[in-house]
Every structure is written in structure tokens, then in C-alpha cells.
Structure 1
Amino acid sequence: MKKPYVSVEGIARRYGATTIFADAWFGIERGEFVCLVGHSGCGKTTILNILAGLEPPDDGVLIMDGQELSGPSLDRAVIFQSHALLPWLTAAENVAFAQGCKHPGWSRAQRMEAALAALQKVGLAQAGDKKPSELSGGMKQRVGIARALSLAPKMLLMDEPFSALDALTRGALQEEVARLVTETDQTAFMITHDVDEAILLADRILLMSNGPGARIAEVVVNTLPKPRTRATLHHMAGYHPLREHVLDFLITRSKAFRADAPPANWSPRAVPEVRL
């Protein structure tokens, strides 16, 4: 059987005698947008960190494009909850710094040209000479998005990148990311607590049971047509059943799922896939 573009195979994380999550198996196809949803403490951020190579799994392996992943690499770009910009550099210089890591032989002029082109894509061409202290929260995150996408990574990883923003800015950036990921045919993995955010962005939603001892309990296929926008999402046929299904898991079934006695039809290597 052909493996998916990204294959997560039986990873686990333990702290002493406590198992945070175990036996996590899932795949991500090339160009697919996958969201991981679950309560705090189930290990979502740890899974993202393992995918990014920022920490190793206690068990299991990760394979991308036929190669086992080990340690961080520029083929995986991360957008964090905070903007993580260098405060002494301008917006363009922050993006150019990443270009210098990927293309050490480039001149400063080449790096800055690529940086300004990346900022143009996120609507910040006019802010290239501004430092982070001169930018709004949403603009800082746009710089972070431009920096990540300018690397043309094989996979884009996002750790609740919009959680600290106001509702209007958050909605605008969600749609911006959806557009950019589609335009660049980017493979994306994102963790979120926001059900509507997952429905807006994801092709598939991974539902994680509560920790400790968390598992990926179910995969929900998002069949709502693209493009999706915040303004029209709740009018789409199928939106309400999909939202209610995910909410029911988070409110009720995530707590009832027991890692030591899972449902009869559940297997970590073949997690049930739901299409509503």
C-alpha cells in the first residue's frame, strides 16, 4: 500500500510514569490541510513539536516524502502562537534572515528581494521597513506567515497561530492562510481549539481524546466545498451536522474514550474515518 506523503507511525510521549499520548498513527497527503483538535493536556503541541523535529518521540517514527524525519529542518516551517520575530530587525529583514538560512550563498540584495516578494503576498509590502514594535499583532503574524512560506517548505506547521488575535483580525488571517496554502499547494498541519477554524481550513480533522493516555480517536473528513469563508461557512449545507459532530466529541466522547478499553471498532493503525 502506498504511504501518504507524511506518515506518523506509532509515536508516543511519556514524562516519567505518565503517558501523555501513545500509539499515534496518521498520514497527511501532499497538498492536504490537516487540523488536530483536542482538549488541553492531550499532547497536541507535543505532536507538532515532534513533527517539527524540536523534540524526539519516545516511540515510533515519522516519514516525509520517503525519508525518516530526525531533528529540525528548513523543509518544515513553523508558525507559532506568538510571532517570534527578532525585534531589532525590520519586517523585511526578519524574512530575509530566513532566506539567508536557506540560501547562504545569496547576496543581501537577493535575500531582501525574496523577502519583499513574500511580504507582498501577505499584503505587507508597504511595511517592510518597519520593526515589530511598529506593527499590530495581526501584521506581526503576517510577517511570520510570509517568513514561513518564503522557505517553500515541504510542510507548514501551525501552533494555534491566531489564538492571541481579536476576532476580526483572526478571521481575516484564517482566510489569508487558506488562500496562500491553496495557491502554493502547501501541505499543512495545524493544531487548534477552535472548531470553526478547523472546519474553515481543514480537509480532515483529527480528534484527540483527553490526556493523559490520549489517543487519536477519530478522523473527520471535511466535505464542505472550497473556497470557504467565515461569512458563508455557516450557510453551507452540511456545516451544522459537521460542527455538532466535532463538538459532541469534545464535550462528551473525548472524555468517554478510554485508551485502556477503546471502542470495539477502533484501532490505532486504522482510526475510524467519518464523512457526514
Structure 2
Amino acid sequence: MAEIDSKFISIEGIARRYPKREGGVTTIFENLWLQVPRGEFVCIIGHSGCGKTSVLNILAGLETPSDGAVIVDGQAISGPSLDRAVIFQGHALLPWRTVLGNVAYAVSSRWRKAGKAEVDERSRRFIELVGLKGSELKKPAELSGGMRQRVGIARALSIEPKILLMDEPFSALDALTRGTLQDEVRRICTATGQTVVMITHDVDEAIYLADKIVLMTNGPEAMVAEVVANPLPKDRVRDSIHRHEDYYVVRNHLVDFLVSRSRTFRDEKPAGYDPRRPPIVKLGSAAQAAEMANTIPFPATASARD
């Protein structure tokens, strides 16, 4: 079971190529491999043009890879599925439906034989979960941008997907609303054990939300350079996260990658780099302690030599 869970999402050698008008092809990325265990929150970071959204669309079944395959829970993705819910940058709500109507539409699509009472009960439960109780009968035009995104989150979660896919869902919101929704998403996903793959350009957002952060090099011909394991505690809190001893260790590593190494990595790959097994980088005090524990002090080494 542990082996199956470790490969809950298995991206296996996928590529995305587009034909050029003048002939030939542009390769956005190629031979991309990544595994996401069940219940993990993974953020993908990289500059525009590296193919982050294409990876997400392939996971959603909205695009077909030029090569390779994606396996989810033992089955290859062949198209869209209600097992995979997507939250886009825009709310993508049906403007003629109420909050309840938008969520109920998703619920009734998932459980086609459910009666109206059951659909309403389930829809209202998820509307309340995202803090919109009392707004069930409002239409999208009557809601703020943050409230519309909450409806989108409720709609996605209401179908109880195996995977939640998020494409920069908070990027168009003001800082205060964005922080509030990040808190809500983190609370819900931590409580439910939801498996999440999210795209973001925001380093601090990734550090706050993710269990692992996937670093992609610049495109075209982008690749996964490494996967950074987030050393911050699972119960981290926004108000104090920046005071944790490992916070700036991780942040500086991510910023350094985006500023410089994302451009040079492809031509200066470390010895032994294998795209099929991108290195998992462990940073911070816990990693240092583990390294020290596996190191024999010099006097002991000298004594053994003598």
C-alpha cells in the first residue's frame, strides 16, 4: 500500500510540443517525470513559458501529452474526469445560477441518481465549509472576487475529487483576500487529506501551502530540476511562519533558483542528474541534524585509522 500511495500520481516521461508556423516544432518540455504521493500538497514553480499550465492541463485531461503518460491511482489519464477537479485563475461560475445552483450543478453531475434534497444538503455543506453560509441564493454578480473564488473552491471540493488541481487561483485577488483564501484552502486540505497539485509564481505562497515544491527550469525544453521538501511544520501558522528558523533557508533557495539557476540548470546539470528521478532536496535544521548524525567525528576517524 505504501508503494501504491507513493505513486498515487505518476507523471512518466511526458512531453509537450507545438508545431511552428515556419516548420519544425517548439518543445515546451520533454521527458518530464514526477511522482506525487496520496495526500500531499505539491506546488509547481517556474517562469512563464516553462509549461506549468500544460502539465496541469495534462493532469486534468484537458490536453494530451505529445509523449509519455500520466497514471493516477493506477489508471492512465485519457481525458477529463470528475475524479480530478480544477480551480482556475478565474472563477468560471455560471452567471445565471446562484451560489447554491453552481455547486449543486457539480454535485448532481457527480451523483446523477441523487435526489434534490441530497444534492442540496451536500451543496450547502461545502458552501458552509468555505464560509459562504447565508449567500446561497446570491448570483455571481452580487459577490466579490474573493467570494466567487470561494464558490469555485466549494464546487471543486463538493465532488470529492481524488486530486484537486489549482492554476494560480488567488493571483487576481488583493493581498488580504488572497491570504484569507490561502488559509481556508490550507485548513480544508489539511483536515481532509486532499491531494493537491497547484501552480504558483508566489514563493511565499508555495512555502506556506506546500509539502513539496517542484522547481522547473526555464522553457523551452524545460525540465524538473529538483523537488524541495518543505521543512516547516505541518501545523504552521501564517502569523508566525516567517519566524521559523528554516523559513528563509527555504525562501532563499527558491529565490536563488528562480533568479539564476532556472536559466543555467539545463547546461550545468549536477553530476548524476537523472530526469526520471529528480533529486529531492532537504533543507534546514532537520536536514543538517540528519547529516551530522551520519557523520563520524574526526577524532573517531583518526582513532579507527590508527
TM-score > 0.5, shorter chain as reference: yes
CA shift digits 1:26-67 (9 cap, x unpaired):
111110000000000000000000000001100111111111
Q: Which residue of 1 aligns with 2:182?
A: 174
CA contact (8 A) 1:265 1:272 kept: no
Amino acid at match of 1:33: F
Amino acid at match of 2:58: I
Out of 111, 114, 118, the residue aligned to residue 110 of structure 1 is 118
Q: Which residue of 2 aligns with 1:12?
A: 15
Alignment partners' CA distance in 2, 1:257 and 1:24: 15
1:265 aligns with 2:272: yes
Out of 218, 223, 247, the residue aligned to residue 215 of structure 1 is 223
Question: How much does 1:183 deviate?
Answer: 1.0
Q: Unpaired runs of 5+ in structure 1? A: none
CA shift digits 1:151-197 (9 cap, x unpaired):
11000000000000000000010011001001111000000000000
Alignment partners' CA distance in 1, 2:221 and 2:196: 26
Q: Which residue of 1 aligns with 2:78?
A: 70
SS in 1 for 2:239: helix
SS in 1 for 2:240: helix
1:84 aligns with 2:92: yes
- Which of these two proteins has the greater Rg computed from alpha carbons? 2
Q: Which residue of 2 aligns with 1:42?
A: 50
CA shift digits 1:81-108 (9 cap, x unpaired):
0001000000011000001110111222
SS in 2 for 1:126: coil
SS in 1 for 2:263: helix
Amino acid at match of 1:114: R
Alignment partners' CA distance in 2, 1:201 and 1:40: 21
SS in 2 for 1:125: coil
- Stretch moving more, 132-141 or 227-236: 227-236
1:132 aligns with 2:135: no
Alignment partners' CA distance in 2, 1:183 and 1:272: 29
Alignment partners' CA distance in 2, 1:228 and 1:40: 29
Question: How much does 1:272 deviate?
Answer: 1.4
Q: Which residue of 2 aligns with 1:2?
A: 3
Q: Which residue of 2 aligns with 1:33?
A: 41
Amino acid at match of 1:267: D
Out of 226, 236, 242, the residue aligned to residue 250 of structure 2 is 242
Amino acid at match of 2:175: A
| Aligned residue-pair number | 275
Question: How much does 1:262 deviate?
Answer: 3.1
Question: How much does 1:111 deviate?
Answer: 1.3
Alignment partners' CA distance in 2, 1:231 and 1:201: 14
Amino acid at match of 2:17: R
1:22 aligns with 2:25: no
Question: How much does 1:264 deviate?
Answer: 2.1
Question: How much does 1:118 deviate?
Answer: 0.6
SS in 2 for 1:70: coil
CA shift digits 1:106-154 (9 cap, x unpaired):
2222212211111011110111110000001110011110110111100
Amino acid at match of 1:57: P
Question: How much does 1:71 deviate?
Answer: 0.2
Amino acid at match of 1:178: R
Amino acid at match of 1:5: F
Q: Unpaired runs of 5+ in structure 2? A: 20-24, 284-306
Out of 184, 197, 203, the residue aligned to residue 192 of structure 2 is 184
Out of 53, 63, 78, the residue aligned to residue 61 of structure 2 is 53
**TM-score, scaled to structure 2:** 0.88
